[in-house]
């Protein structure tokens, strides 16, 4: 009896996999020394070992196989670096060799063929686009010119929280407030105004949220090319194309608005030029030596939104959450902020430079909860040495920054939240100290680092200037569990119940400053391991609550 043709498919696939492995290995034998590799499976290689939290899974593998190891994600060789020395070797010693990016099918379609600063492959185009971003959009003078925008938008967040205490609305989403703060600042700086009102504004917001979500989606075709058809069956291809078209239409509308306004000469010299104005000016004057196409203009704006939003509001969320768990840190921070404010009703950016503990708090939060636990992958442009290992050209490298920041060889008590470790330390987030690289380093470091940090500093300073945090009697800090690194939404809810009757296990007390008087606000944090962090905002009190699929 003849066997059906598909009965030979699995043996054939297994043969192809081992043939590929053998060819890759034998082509690099002899004098070459490859990093150690965990055992993989046919076809998928080590993909199954990444788990739902790749940074944790890779850290666990590195404890067994070493700080530099070689994985095979499908057909792609990928080096994982999990030590300070390896990170320094990649981003400083051999930064030029590791300065390219691997191709991503999703990024390709969303960012006009990967023409953005973040994902563009190394070359002349990338140099020019990065130069525009660094020299014309994110230089210190330009960042300072938008100081008024940052101060007004952070003040608006404080006002909205106050209004929520007297509002008839049942729910206030503080995570949404942090996200709105980031989006509003970036919108005004990059596009000239906020796009958050009306149907078009809501559509734009939803599309940008989908963009950020898609950037975290795994595309099987990038690692096992002959399985790319699965993206069509799953609907991923259709979804990506839809978001790409919506983004293009939105950016086209923004550019046309600016061009129409400029023709009517409605722009005032006293106003700070937004990024669209600057890019159109560069495009018209052709002062950089090469033409800026319309797609390049759009993709630069898109890059600013994606990188700025995804870096800023998660850092604010995690910092506020850690402060709730560490009352001494809250008290020290508030004393510093209020002492330097010297009775002023509002904190300004002029006050931030002297707030050493504030800066330490933010560094410690970025150390424990980096916006990007795994830095964006790089790709070697040629054969290169990584520590004692030989790495072939076209090999991807992933730097596990999360593992580096929790390495006991670099940090005392790395799992402990202790801002004081930075008070007498020269370590910063500028990409020079490889123990702490939340924004990367070298040629591929984030050019918007300064912009992001100043927003976080100002927002946090204003928040602690208006709130006093203490832990009530009976709460043990170790009862609060934050072992999961999922980003947690923050919500506020108004309720008129007596907190002492409704919530016997309250765990924190806020005091809100509404002018000359202080209003006590109680915060309740459960001990559940959570996927969501909820902040319930009541008329007379606040309750923080962690939920694990059910109410506490």
Q: For residues 401 and 160, what is the distance between their CA atoms, to the nearest angstrom?
A: 35
Q: For residues 369 and 426, what is the distance between their CA atoms, to the nearest angstrom?
A: 20
Residue 476: φ, ψ to 5°:
-100, 130
Closest CA to 375 of 316, 442, 298, 456: 442
Taking every pair of C-alpha atoms in the chain, what is the biggest distance, in angstroms?
92
Q: For residues 456 and 150, what is the distance between their CA atoms, to the nearest angstrom?
A: 10
> Are residues 313 and 178 in contact, defined by beta-carbon separation less than 8 angstroms?
yes
User: Which run of H or of E encompasses 49?
Assistant: none
Q: For residues 343 and 488, what is the distance between their CA atoms, to the nearest angstrom?
A: 34
Helix (H, G, I), strand (E, B) or coil at 454: helix
Residue 396: φ, ψ to 5°:
-80, 150
> What sign results for the dihedral spanned by CA atoms 90, 94, 96, 100?
negative
The edge-to-edge listing of strands for the beta sheet with 68-73 is 68-73, 76-81, 396-399, 378-379
Closest CA to 74 of 230, 234, 219, 215: 219
The DSSP code for 519 is: E
Pairing between β-strand 492-493 and β-strand 171-172 as defined by DSSP bridges: antiparallel
What count of other Cβ atoms lies within 10 Å of the Cβ of residue 42? 14
Residue 175: φ, ψ to 5°:
-60, -40
- b/e per residue, 149-186, with b = 16+ CB within 10 A? bbbebbeebbebbeebbeeeeeebbbbbbbbbbbbbbb
Counting every residue written for the chain, the total comes to 552
Residue 161: φ, ψ to 5°:
-65, -40
Closest CA to 55 of 399, 497, 420, 502: 399
User: Which run of H or of E encompasses 332?
Assistant: helix 327-341
- b/e per residue, 332-360, with b = 16+ CB within 10 A? bbbebbbebbeeeeebebebbeebebbbb
Tell me whether residue 446 is annotated as binding. Answer: yes
Closest CA to 539 of 178, 169, 180: 169
Closest CA to 431 of 7, 126, 88: 88
What count of other Cβ atoms lies within 10 Å of the Cβ of residue 260? 10
Residues flagged as binding site = 446
Residues flagged as binding site for heme = 446
């Amino acid at each position: 009896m003849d066997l059906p043709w598909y009965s030979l498919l699995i043996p054939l696939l297994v043969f192809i996999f081992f043939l590929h492995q053998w060819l890759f290995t034998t082509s690099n034998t002899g004098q070459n020394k490859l990093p150690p590799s965990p055992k993989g499976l046919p076809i998928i290689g080590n993909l199954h070992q990444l788990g739902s939290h790749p940074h944790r899974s890779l850290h666990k593998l590195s404890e067994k196989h070493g700080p530099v190891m070689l994985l095979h994600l499908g057909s792609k060789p990928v080096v994982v670096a999990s030590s300070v020395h390896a990170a320094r070797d990649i981003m400083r010693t051999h930064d030029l060799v590791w300065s390219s990016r691997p191709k991503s099918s999703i990024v390709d379609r969303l960012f006009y063929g990967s023409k953005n600063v973040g994902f563009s492959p190394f070359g002349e185009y990338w140099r020019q686009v990065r130069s525009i971003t660094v020299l014309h959009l994110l230089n210190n003078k330009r960042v300072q010119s938008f100081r008024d925008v940052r101060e007004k938008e952070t003040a608006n967040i404080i006002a909205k929280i106050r209004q929520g205490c007297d509002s008839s609305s049942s729910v206030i989403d503080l995570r949404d407030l942090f996200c709105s703060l980031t989006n509003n600042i970036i919108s005004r700086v990059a596009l000239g105004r906020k796009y958050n009102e009306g149907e078009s504004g809501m559509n734009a917001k939803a599309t940008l949220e989908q963009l950020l979500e898609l950037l975290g989606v795994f595309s099987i075709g990038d690692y096992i090319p002959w399985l790319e058809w699965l993206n069509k069956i799953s609907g991923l291809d259709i979804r990506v194309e839809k978001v790409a078209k919506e983004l293009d239409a939105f950016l086209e509308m923004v550019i046309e608005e600016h061009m129409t306004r400029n023709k009517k000469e409605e722009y005032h010299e006293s106003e700070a030029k937004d990024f669209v104005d600057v890019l159109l000016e560069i495009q018209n004057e052709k002062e950089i030596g090469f033409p800026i196409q319309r797609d390049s203009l759009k993709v630069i704006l898109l890059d600013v939104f994606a990188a700025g939003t995804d870096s800023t509001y998660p850092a604010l969320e995690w910092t506020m959450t850690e402060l709730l768990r560490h009352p001494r840190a809250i008290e020290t921070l508030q004393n510093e902020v209020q002492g330097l404010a010297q009775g002023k009703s509002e904190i300004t950016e002029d006050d931030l430079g002297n707030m050493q503990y504030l800066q330490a708090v933010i560094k410690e939060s970025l150390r424990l909860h980096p916006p990007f636990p795994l830095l964006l992958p790089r790709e070697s442009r040629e054969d290169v040495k990584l520590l004692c290992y030989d790495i072939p050209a076209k090999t991807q490298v992933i730097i596990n920054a999360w593992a580096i920041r929790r390495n006991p060889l670099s940090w005392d008590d790395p799992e402990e939240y202790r801002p004081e470790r930075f008070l007498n330390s020269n370590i910063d987030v500028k990409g020079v100290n490889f123990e702490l690289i939340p924004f990367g380093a070298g040629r591929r470091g984030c050019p918007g680092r300064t912009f992001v940090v100043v927003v976080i500093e100002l927002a946090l300073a204003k928040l602690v200037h208006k709130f006093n945090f203490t832990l009530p009697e009976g709460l043990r800090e170790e009862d609060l569990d934050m072992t999961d690194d999922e980003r947690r939404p923050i919500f506020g809810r108004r309720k008129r119940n007596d907190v002492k009757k409704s919530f016997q296990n309250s765990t924190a007390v806020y005091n809100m400053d509404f002018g000359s008087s202080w209003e006590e606000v109680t915060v309740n944090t459960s001990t559940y391991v959570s996927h969501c962090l909820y902040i319930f905002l009541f008329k007379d009190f606040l309750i923080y609550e962690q939920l694990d699929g059910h109410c506490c």
